[in-house]
Structure 1
Amino acid sequence: MEKLTIWIEKQLFGFKYIVFAVILLLTAFLAYNASLVRPSASFEKMIPVQHEYVQNYLNYKQELASLGNSVRVVIENENGDIFNAEFQEQMRTLNDELFFISGVDRSGMKSIWTANVTWAEVTEDGFVGGTVIPSDYDGSQPTLDRLRRNVMLSGQVGYLVGDNLKSAVFLLPLMSINPDTGKPLDYNQLSNTLEEIRSKYEVNGVKVHITGFAKVVGDLIAGAAEVVIFFLTAIAITFALLYLYSRCLRSTFVTVTCALVAVIWQLGLLNLLGQGLDPYSMLVPFLVFAIAVSHGVQLISAIGQHMAAGNKAEQAARLGFRALAIPGLIALLSDGLGFITLNVIEIEVIQDLATAASVGVAVILLTNLILLPILMSWTGVSPAGIKYLLAEQSKTPLIVTMFSRFADAKWAKSALFFGVFCLAVGLYQGQSLKIGDLDAGAPELRADSRYNLDNAYVVNNYQASTDIMVLMVETPAEQCSSYHTLNAVNQLQAHVEGIPGVQSTLSVATIAKKAIVGMNEGNPKWQGLSPNQLVLNAAVGRAPAAFMNNTCSMLPLIIYLDDHKANTLETVIADITAFTAVNKTEGVNFALAAGNAGIEAATNSVIEKAQYQMLMWVYGVVAILCFLTFRSVKTLICIILPLALTSILGQALMATLGIGVKVATLPVIALGVGIGVDYGIYIYSQLSARLKIGDNLQDAYKYALSSTGKAVAFTGVTLAIGVCTWVLSPIKFQADMGLMLTFMFIWNMLGALCFLPALAWLLNVGGNRAIVTQADHTKMEDVNSNAA
């Protein structure tokens, strides 16, 4: 391996002008492509399309258009109810504007101003009815009075009209493909259009509230500008701290520049791969920057030490490359392969994140192991930086004084005892970790965000919750309206309405029972399903077309929930599954589940299963690479156990802070492991080199601390400071990720500096070699000049 490293070194530095020219051209090309990257999002990408529930929904996607990906626009009159001419004129014009928004499924749009919303009543002459808006409506008081009456008879109070009659809903089903462009629906553009409409109509006591998946995504994309601000802040903090660490402006500039080149390459390659940046992968460029800086610090530290020893810039760059090429390669491979393991989660948005992170690590291999050494061979470390380094070398570094003790028996035992204590606390507290959302509304956004305030208004003023679960009742063709089927549906509805967390239910059976009462002069004694199929057919005929498909082989059972919190979904799903398993009806199948709550339940199911698979894969990959590199089980234990402790404590922290494991947070666990393993690999590579030539564990660890240990501590603290600023973000999931990554950066650093040497002492790594021969002294001198 050493011969191969030396051969690569000769080729790299021997043809460095050609290599640099190629890199420069590639950077220009990829920078152009990076400028073309745009925020993107897709409803289908954010759901587990292979899950049984989602497959059931996709089978009936057209029939359930209004219950799938949709937006609710609510217009509220703060100065009275909706039954006045001026407000109704605003509703009419708003209805027309919303109708013509590109991407809206116009055939499924609903409001009291659309022709598919009707009223009906029973008179002595039979049923009469019509559209809610009177055909001769002209804004006069008589037509307004008829409108009020029609609304009351339509059954839409609590659904399309607020319970207090002060607001009304426009339900906008969305297409996945924009028919005007032939491209996936642009949620950012849709959100901007809705915001323009909001600002246009919010005058003179009128308020507009907007909810729905598309609006959440639009708000997240709008927050991308703030992500850029935090990214720039992190760059500034990193630059300042790196300068304080090295006291060398040129090496600081080169390191940060190479890290930014890695980000440019990553974004350019993503564009070439046909990917954009969705709300969940927008933070990946910062992680790429962080990893690049982490590895760059190791290299400039090694080059600085060699220049302080009297080597010229190019020779120092060669020696630094030779010493760190293998550990750097292994660490980056661990990062990249660890990120690839996210692909076991069958949710495309997470798989895209895995691709983005893996591509980023791949380009770091080129920018940090090729571009950075070449640039440093020309610039070297400034005289001021070398002077500072020599001054630091003349005294024992603080980090050596603080952490070298953990390789001694007394401190090692204390560290191990504390580690076991933390493990016990983490395992206990981690039992409270929940899968899915733990907050109402959109947990990706702050509780006081405009979206969550809008959602709270809808929840408080409408019977129809924004959290809907749909069961698809499947039957043979033309059997969905039979007494046999509707009786089974009615029994299930009665049971479901008693489940905690369920507000109400709705199906064609509900409508049929009301119609039967109407056909019998409104006598409540007839409130039930008639076994007479002719009577039942007449009642079912009153149901809107959306309540059964064209072949009468499927009817939706709509369940309105209090919220979509993990506990609510678990309770409802478990209860329905148990009831339908016991109360089976021949020829009737209750298929779970559509609606936003049904999709959320499917997502939670996939996340729960995949989180342990992901951890097994990421730790398996890292363990194999570490074992192949060091060929030692003891070494493997020393590097992996501190990482595992960080993961366990990270899950305990999530449970304590009320952060659920979901699409936005699950990748953080793998990202933390991928980045954290670098610390252990760099420290152990130096520790191992000293142990091989005869140092005892304590002396070998002191050397590792004085060389790579300082860089590890600096990197951990710097990256933690950079990401902790995210807690100020208005996007809650970014704040959660910032908090989690801060914790993982710090704990992974402490694990490498404290627990790694303590485990090495426990496992007697290297033995206790106090006697060193003259030949060994010669080898030690060679290591001092060739390893950093």
Structure 2
Amino acid sequence: MIERIAELCIHRRKAVVAVLAALTLVLSWFALRIEVRTVFEDMLPSQHEYVKTHERFKDTFGGSNMVTIMFEVKEGDIFQKAFLDKVRTVTLGLREVSAVNPYQITSLASKKLKEVQASTDGIATTPLMWPDLPANAEQMAALKEAVLRNPLVYGPYVSRDLQATLITVDFIDRDVDYTKVFEEVRALVAKVDDDSVRIRIVGDPILYGWVNHYVPETINLVAAALAVTLSMLFVLLRTWRGVLLPLLAGVVSAIWALGICHLLGIHFEPLVIVVAMLITSRAVSHSVQIVNRFDDELENIAKGAESARHAAKVALADLFRPGMLGVIADAACMAVVALSPIPMLQKLTVLSVVWVSTLTISAVILTPVMLSFIRKPHGTVHGVDLAPLLRKVLDFAVWMATSRFRFAVIGCSVVVMAVSGWYAFNLKIGDANPGSPILWPEAAYNEDSAAINARFQGADRMFVVVGADGQQDFVKKSEVLTAMNRFQRFLEAQPEIGGSVSIADVLPVVSRTLREGNPRYQELGDSQATNGSLMAVLDSVSEPGDMDRFVDSTYANGAVTLMFRDRKGETIRTAVARVKEFIAANPLETGSWQLAGGLIGVMAAVNEVILSGQIEAVALALLVLVVICTVVYRSTVAGMLFMVPVIISNTLTFSFMAWKGIGMNINTVPVAALGIGLGVDYAFYIADRVKEEIAAGSSPEKAIYMALHSAGMGVVVTASVLIVSTLLWWASSLRFQAEMGLLMAIWLGISAMSALFVMPSVIYVFRPEFIFGKKERPVLAGATPGLQAD
């Protein structure tokens, strides 16, 4: 069948090229229109209980797209008219930012922060600094005193040293456009930024805004990596076909993938450029293998008009199986990620599977078809020949595989797999370091985050809801408020949680105010009636929306909001475990606790999905790979044999991630899944060439020699080229891209070493039947021909 496919493609080469060119032209029109953006809702596992809680209460208690802006004075304290005017200007300007929730803008200059006052005329709440700034020193001093005696402001919104203040603003999840928000907020802040004040901004809209901000730089890195790839291919292969055809394969596969995904309504996530580069590297690898085999075949046939066609047909026929097997393995391992309930990973899976599948056309078929058109295939374009040096490396690999050192190679491989596999269990789920792992520690965003968390309770939030649906005034119960208060004190014992706030913090302030400010009465009421009266007093002097961050409109549900100083996976898991521990130890007579909303709440949901599914996903991907190899080679031994390079490359890479503190999160999971397929691609070419030589009658030693000097040469060339080009990503301003580039280089390097040294040794020692064929049993002397002895 493969021979017929090869014969058809080469015989009808003009028709094949015409059809592929037409399809590429059509799909390029769609590819240029694909959207490049980050959609927040795609990152959420919508069926997870935390996300359900978040979606239900986010408009009341705060969403996960909150932006925090810190104004920090350089001299004196914040109670200076010029300084507070800047705060007021930004607070008012935030109302005009795209997708802003105007009811979730909180600062000294907003109506949200108020002072509760009691007099003979009754009780009243007065905004601390709205609508006007303090007009004189006396009013400024009064503002300062009001801040100092308000525990809901002093600490949460004004730093303890009085040198900084916060503005918090939330955005509507379904409408937020990170690029617009990033640009508009930064432009607003730039209007008031001068030498007298230091302004810091954090929040997911700003974080992903920085990602989009660096897209031009990312494109430049892609161009640089491409230039290095083409230059090295030109030097190593010494032909224009060795440069242009891998480039053509990569470009065609990208056009087809992006065009098809646009038709499917899938957008392009900026962070997955790393995955795109990884898949493109496979296109280059497959194409180089075919070009290299084409060149090898030319040496064995006479020059002539038909020599190129014949060599192209042989290259297509002989490499069709390992090429297709590599494509199928990559696609199948990536498809496992689609089992995740996170829409972003599901869409990325479709994009990746489509992209990998296009390599069948762009590399496995188009490359040999284009090679068949070459009229003078025997020449080279420059005199620098590095082939002798590369052949020395391959000679060493042959010697290692066929000498007694082959046992040492296998033994060392087993030790490496065991040690790296054990150490890989230290891999963290979620973010492994403070700040955002997407950016470098010295990036402005991470420095701003560290500065805010040092001065305030924490920039990232999680809310836990306590309530009973349909039970109006449930939160007014004394036992509920007491439970909320105890819950806060219990959670605040965790060092990474800087503070918390709930209605149980507000009512004691009202109680004290009603009793002429006597701190003795700063406590919750001892009955539902007392607490209900305090809430009624507070509600009567509040404006619509003032109570939203504490309770819903019917007092059936209340929120405890926790402020986190970092978003590390370990921090989030500890907090969630402590929440569950408190709930289990302090059951309510009626009602229930609901986890968990806000940014930290949804991150907890994502981390739990990844934690619960990662081991199963890796195991399933390995199982899929075993099944594919077993079916293609019709041997269970084949499935087990090809696990060797996969396990080596993946355990070593996961160990490196654990060592360098690279967490397994929503951005790194796709790279890990694709890496499983990546770890075996080179081995397919080596093993298949050994099988081919054995079938032609070669001895095991000669078969390994020929395989390494043919397919092995392609492995050396592609691995060296792609390792150097991917290492260029270390220059990226996005730490995620830099680390994933390094991971790709490690994966490629380990995969190549496994294919060149480990696989030949394993094949030579164990002589698997699917490669060497069935061994004939000897016939005893004198026995009847056709009968074998027991």
TM-score normalised according to structure 2 size: 0.91
1:752 match: 755
d(CA) in 1 for partners of 2:285, 2:390: 23
1:200 to 174, 191, 194: 191
1:31 match: 28
d(CA) in 2 for partners of 1:350, 1:657: 24
Deviation at 1:73, TM superposition (A): 2.2
d(CA) in 1 for partners of 2:597, 2:29: 42
1:107 match: 103
Deviation at 1:555, TM superposition (A): 0.6
Does residue 461 of structure 2 align to residue 485 of structure 1? Answer: no
2:779 match: none
2:687 to 673, 680, 684: 684
2:246 to 252, 255, 262: 255
1:351 to 346, 351, 359: 346
Does residue 734 of structure 2 align to residue 738 of structure 1? Answer: no
1:533 match: 528
1:786 match: none
- The range that moved more, 329-338 or 194-203, is 194-203
Structure 1 residues 482-514: Cα deviation after superposition (integer angstroms, max 9, x where no partner): 113212222322322333433222211121223
2:182 match: 191
1:6 match: 3
Secondary structure (helix, strand or coil) at the match of 2:476 reads coil
d(CA) in 1 for partners of 2:742, 2:131: 58
1:88 match: 84
Does residue 256 of structure 2 align to residue 265 of structure 1? Answer: yes
Secondary structure (helix, strand or coil) at the match of 1:60 reads helix
Does residue 466 of structure 2 align to residue 466 of structure 1? Answer: no
Q: Contact 1:696–1:766 at 8 Å: present in 2 too?
A: no
2:165 match: 168
Could you tell me which amino acid in structure 2 is paired with residue 612 of structure 1? I
2:56 match: 59
Structure 1 residues 506-547: Cα deviation after superposition (integer angstroms, max 9, x where no partner): 211121223223333434443433223222112234374121
Secondary structure (helix, strand or coil) at the match of 2:447 reads helix
Does residue 725 of structure 2 align to residue 698 of structure 1? Answer: no
2:572 to 569, 572, 591: 569
Does residue 40 of structure 2 align to residue 43 of structure 1? Answer: yes
1:426 to 409, 416, 420: 420
Could you tell me which amino acid in structure 2 is paired with residue 233 of structure 1? A
Structure 1 residues 681-701: Cα deviation after superposition (integer angstroms, max 9, x where no partner): 111111112233443432211
The change in CA–CA distance for 1:570 and 1:588 in structure 2 (over 3 A counts) is same
2:542 match: none
Does residue 649 of structure 2 align to residue 652 of structure 1? Answer: no
d(CA) in 2 for partners of 1:714, 1:637: 27
1:444 match: 438
Secondary structure (helix, strand or coil) at the match of 1:281 reads helix
1:410 match: 404
The change in CA–CA distance for 1:224 and 1:47 in structure 2 (over 3 A counts) is same
Q: Contact 2:690–2:771 at 8 Å: present in 1 too?
A: no
Secondary structure (helix, strand or coil) at the match of 2:533 reads helix
1:621 match: 624
Aligned pair count reads 761
Deviation at 1:615, TM superposition (A): 0.8
d(CA) in 1 for partners of 2:30, 2:195: 47
The change in CA–CA distance for 1:389 and 1:156 in structure 2 (over 3 A counts) is closer
2:214 match: 223
Gaps of 5+ in 2: 540-545, 777-790
Aligned-residue CA RMSD (Å): 2.7
2:605 match: 602
Could you tell me which amino acid in structure 2 is paired with residue 522 of structure 1? G
d(CA) in 2 for partners of 1:223, 1:703: 46
- The range that moved more, 189-198 or 98-107, is 189-198
Question: Percent of pairs identical after alignment?
Answer: 24
d(CA) in 2 for partners of 1:434, 1:749: 27
Secondary structure (helix, strand or coil) at the match of 2:106 reads coil
d(CA) in 2 for partners of 1:733, 1:396: 33
2:284 match: 293
d(CA) in 1 for partners of 2:738, 2:163: 36
d(CA) in 2 for partners of 1:100, 1:317: 63
The change in CA–CA distance for 1:767 and 1:539 in structure 2 (over 3 A counts) is closer
d(CA) in 1 for partners of 2:772, 2:749: 32
1:776 match: none
Secondary structure (helix, strand or coil) at the match of 1:434 reads coil
The change in CA–CA distance for 1:114 and 1:302 in structure 2 (over 3 A counts) is same
Secondary structure (helix, strand or coil) at the match of 1:480 reads helix
1:580 match: 583
d(CA) in 1 for partners of 2:743, 2:390: 33
Gaps of 5+ in 1: 179-184, 774-788
Secondary structure (helix, strand or coil) at the match of 1:305 reads helix
Deviation at 1:343, TM superposition (A): 0.9
Q: Contact 2:84–2:133 at 8 Å: present in 1 too?
A: no
1:212 match: 203
Structure 1 residues 437-487: Cα deviation after superposition (integer angstroms, max 9, x where no partner): 12112121111111111112211222x311222111122421121113212
d(CA) in 1 for partners of 2:440, 2:387: 46
Deviation at 1:381, TM superposition (A): 6.5
Deviation at 1:135, TM superposition (A): 5.3
The change in CA–CA distance for 1:149 and 1:244 in structure 2 (over 3 A counts) is same
2:14 match: 17
d(CA) in 1 for partners of 2:361, 2:245: 14
